[in-house]
Amino acid sequence: MSDLDMYRSLYVAESRENLENIVKHLLVLEKGSDQDAIAEIFRSAHSLKGMSASMGFDDMEQICHAMEDIFQSLRSGDLHVDTEVIDLLLKAADDIEAMVDDIEAGGQGHSPNLDQRLESLRSWKAGGRQDRDRGVPIVSPTRDVSTADSRSSDWNNLGTSLYRLEIELDGKCDTKNLRGMIILQNLDSLGEIIDIVPAREVIEDGDFEGAIYLSIRSENDGDALVKAASVSEVCTVRISSPEEKSASAPREVITSRDDARDRKEAAVPASDRGREVKNIRVDITRLDQMMNLIEDLVINRGRVMQIAQKYRMKDLDETLNMIGRSVADLQNLMMNIRMIPLSHIFNRFPRTVRDLSQKMGKEIELTIEGGQTELDRSVMEGLNDPLLHLIRNAIDHGIEFPDQREKAGKPRKGLIQISAQRDRDNVIITIQDDGAGIDPDRTLNKALQRELITRDSAPGMSKEEIFDLLFQPGFSTAEKVTDVSGRGVGLDVVKTAMQAVKGSIKVESEPGTGTRFELLLPPTMAIVDVMMVRINGRRCAIPVNNIVEVASLAGTQIHSIGARETILLRDEILTLNRLDDMFEGSNGAEILVILQNQQKKMAITVDAIIGQQEVVIKPLTRIVGSCPGISGVTIPGDGQVVPVIDVNSIVMEN
């Protein structure tokens, strides 16, 4: 493996973070003058350029350099912010994303339209204020950077201090330029670097011995600066403050354990020791492998516990209790490691809304709340496409054109709100707009035209039942197919995706007011609490989250409505399903289990309740194929394979 391949994954991960930061702050910048946003953009573009140059990705370096020139002109006020320049920079960001994808796949990040993009960027830069005078100017404060002392009094008035840092990289470090750029990026975010040896350009090229000497003005204390400089492969950081008379000697922080043994004589304050990297990047496949091993531990723990109970071995019971606690702690830790903030998905949507609203000539504002809410990555994987489909649907079918909104007494600018919150063991994501809403009568007529329902059943349908028709395969109320939403495919793709992650979706809407989609998701699909029951003599598992209550069938009157059996329980009419089609045999069970999915309830009959336990749910393999009503299988302590009932599909079909 070459050195380039060794650091390719690190480069790709950091490049994606910088690119996301650029796009995020470009959208902020488009709304008006924001000096902080332009500083963030400039910093990310500069870091991306330096990393690309060190890795030999020339096309990437050239585009980043051309973008950096425009960012510098925006910061200095030579160029103005308007929609056209943001469009140009976002297109360049799209090119960068495609190049990063190519690099991740093993390529060199070549761009087929490099020359055209560079020409566009350079011509815009050359045009300057004379040709681009329509936007909002961004004016940065002018500073005399000739000497540090000339600004000393101004900085002191701002409550900042001057620090001297000496940073030494490990002699075995093969990527001095990458580490140097990360150090400078971290310190830039905490203050202003006044002078630096060697120069930034030399550090970017990696042509230095691994020692960096710099002066920085910062409002932060020395500990924060040391922490920012103590990145991976940094062995020593020394810091001193000439302005502090009490600072008789510089503080030295040794971050390499080998160097620490060689330098025992160095006086290192306790608060500055152990400044090692706190976060590392781990390939997601390794986390999946660890999760599989933990799932095996959970299964085998149950098996050993059954053996211990069978032979009544006291010493083994005590040991198993300790092992059980350790396995539970390990399981909880692993589950937390796999949790990912929804902001990883939500952060992509502002760009989508911005581009599509401009394309359709609509004015739309997007607000996002609850991005810090976390989901397991197995659930997160299947969430991007359904959320994107719902947002496109809101832009195309929901939000009206500005003139139409004005006539209806609404603001010209429509509103789309995305929010996430945790509700007990589940996560709820809502996508809401203040657009035209959904007309139940029109939806019902479309369903009749497509023969999805009969004319006899139509009059008695509730609004909720009518809205459920939207999720039928191929159903759409659009008069014509567009390339924004639908494209001939209805909301059934969203429902299918939600079912794949064991989630559910419901819709609420009022004509002229807006539409609200609510997605209910489990935080994880791997390890869940189930109730073990027997149906027709066969053992199966039911997720506890879907169980409302357990009751006795004895004394309960069973009625027939059409071909279905129903019962009256607590003033509710519930469909009764004996699951004879799934579990063959005569079901003479006398125990009722009430199941619920969203707002729908139903009752099933079981022979016996075995008990509640925590199990690992494994999906059905390709060999078995799909099995209606079964979401997966689990293996309890006795080693038998037990099917897990898919409550969502059973309830929705009844």
pLDDT at 368: 93
Domain match, 247 and 309 both: no
Q: Compute the radius of gyration of the chain from its Cα atoms.
A: 31
Q: Which two structure tokens, joined as six digits, stand for 494?
A: 């969203």
Q: Is the pLDDT of residue 112 over 60?
A: yes
Neighbours of 76 (CB within 10 A): 13
Domain match, 127 and 168 both: no
Domain match, 114 and 248 both: no
Cis peptide, bond prior to residue 341, ω within 30 of zero: no
DSSP string, 555-621: T--EEEETTEEEEEETTEEEEEE--TTTS-S-----EEEEEEETTEEEEEEESEEEEEEEEE-BPPP
Domain match, 122 and 168 both: no
pLDDT at 516: 93
Quick one: CA dihedral 165, 166, 171, 177, positive or negative?
A: positive
Domain match, 315 and 418 both: no
Domain match, 389 and 504 both: yes
Q: Is the pLDDT of residue 246 over 80?
A: no
Percentage of the residues of the chain whose pLDDT score is greater than 90: 9
When the pLDDT of each residue in the chain is averaged and rounded to a whole number, the result is 78
**What does the pLDDT look like over 515-567, one tens digit per residue?**
999 998 876 666 678 899 988 888 999 988 889 999 888 878 888 887 788 88
**What does the pLDDT look like over 311-344, one tens digit per residue?**
877 777 778 888 888 887 887 788 778 788 888 8
Distances (CA, A) of 349 to 44, 477, 596: 20, 24, 32
Stretch 425-451: mean pLDDT: 87
Residue pair 373/422 in contact by the 8 Å Cβ criterion:
yes
pLDDT at 633: 85
Domain match, 489 and 550 both: no
Residue pair 546/586 in contact by the 8 Å Cβ criterion:
no
On whether the pTM is more than 0.85, the answer is no
Q: Given the structure tokens 């003058």, which residue do they identify?
A: 33
Smallest Cα–Cα separation from 208: which of 179, 238, 233, 186?
179
- Cβ-based neighbours of 487, under 8 Å, separated by 6 or more: 481
Q: Which residue has the higher pLDDT, 456 or 277?
A: 456
**Residue 200 sits in a domain of what CATH number?**
3.30.70.1110
Q: Decide which of 465, 497, 521 is a domain's last residue.
A: 521
**What does the pLDDT look like over 44-91, one tens digit per residue?**
888 888 788 878 888 888 888 888 888 877 777 777 788 888 888 888
Q: Which two structure tokens, joined as six digits, stand for 434?
A: 């203040």
- Going by pLDDT thresholds of 50, 70 and 90, the confidence category of residue 243 is low
pLDDT at 141: 33
Q: From CA 564, how far away is CA 141, in angstroms rounded? A: 76
Report strand pairing: 374-376 vs 80-81: unpaired
**What does the pLDDT look like over 158-191, one tens digit per residue?**
456 888 889 988 877 777 887 888 888 888 888 8
Q: Which residue has the higher pLDDT, 165 or 5?
A: 165
- Going by pLDDT thresholds of 50, 70 and 90, the confidence category of residue 418 is very high
Domain match, 252 and 304 both: no
- Going by pLDDT thresholds of 50, 70 and 90, the confidence category of residue 192 is confident
Does 296 fall in a domain?
yes
**Residue 23 sits in a domain of what CATH number?**
1.20.120.160
Does 277 fall in a domain?
no
Domain match, 592 and 541 both: yes
Three-class SS state of 323 = helix
Does 267 fall in a domain?
no
Smallest Cα–Cα separation from 178: which of 73, 90, 56?
56
- DSSP category for residue 482: B
Domain match, 356 and 303 both: no
Q: Decide which of 521, 545, 567 is a domain's last residue.
A: 521
- Going by pLDDT thresholds of 50, 70 and 90, the confidence category of residue 153 is very low
pLDDT at 480: 56
Structural domain total, the chain: 5
**Residue 569 sits in a domain of what CATH number?**
2.30.30.40
**Owning domain of residue 451:** 342-521
- Going by pLDDT thresholds of 50, 70 and 90, the confidence category of residue 347 is confident
Domain match, 239 and 169 both: yes
Q: Which two structure tokens, joined as six digits, stand for 147?
A: 């000497």
Does 148 fall in a domain?
no
**What does the pLDDT look like over 466-510, one tens digit per residue?**
888 888 876 666 555 555 554 334 678 888 888 777 788 889 998
Q: Which residue has the higher pLDDT, 442 or 562?
A: 442
